[in-house]
């Protein structure tokens, strides 16, 4: 059963509203998505995620496995994307995050190959 935080994180991401997602981060929180450059701070994370949302119609995360060890969470996922041409692509991914002492995300990494989404 997924943790409450994991359910919340992916519900917010799947809603395609970057602002609530960015509020989960510490002021110096970092997000690295695939092989993209790190985005640092809630404003940069919100802007980057908003830009990404503009390249797809929708997405949905299905949790395959979750491991929570202290402040660290590792999620194995199956992510379904609906492209702008309405074709659907499902891709495996792993997302990890670390919480700071105030329960805010200070490190968030997404390991994924998005090539099929944009092919």
In this prediction the pTM is: 0.93
Which tens digits make up the pLDDT trace of 37-51?
999 999 999 999 999
Determine the topology of domain 4-118 in CATH. Nuclear Transport Factor 2; Chain: A, (3.10.450)
pLDDT for res 23:
97
- Which strands sit side by side in the sheet containing 88-99, from one edge to the other? 39-40, 25-33, 105-111, 88-99, 72-83, 56-69
Q: What ranges do the domains of the chain cover?
A: 4-118
Which tens digits make up the pLDDT trace of 49-97?
999 999 999 999 999 999 999 999 999 999 999 999 999 999 999 999 9
Q: Check: CB of residue 96 under 8 Å from CB of residue 74.
A: yes
């Amino acid at each position: 059963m997924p943790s409450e935080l994991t359910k919340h994180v992916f519900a917010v991401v799947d809603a395609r509203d970057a602002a609530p997602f960015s509020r989960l981060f510490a002021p110096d929180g970092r997000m690295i998505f695939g092989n993209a450059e790190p985005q640092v701070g809630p404003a940069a994370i919100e802007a980057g995620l908003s830009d990404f949302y503009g390249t797809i119609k929708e997405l949905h995360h299905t949790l395959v496995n979750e491991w929570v060890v202290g402040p660290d969470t590792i999620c194995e996922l199956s992510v379904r994307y609906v492209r702008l041409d309405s074709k659907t692509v499902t891709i495996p991914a792993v997302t990890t995050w670390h919480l700071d002492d105030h329960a805010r995300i200070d490190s968030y990494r997404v390991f994924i190959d998005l090539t099929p989404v944009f092919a």
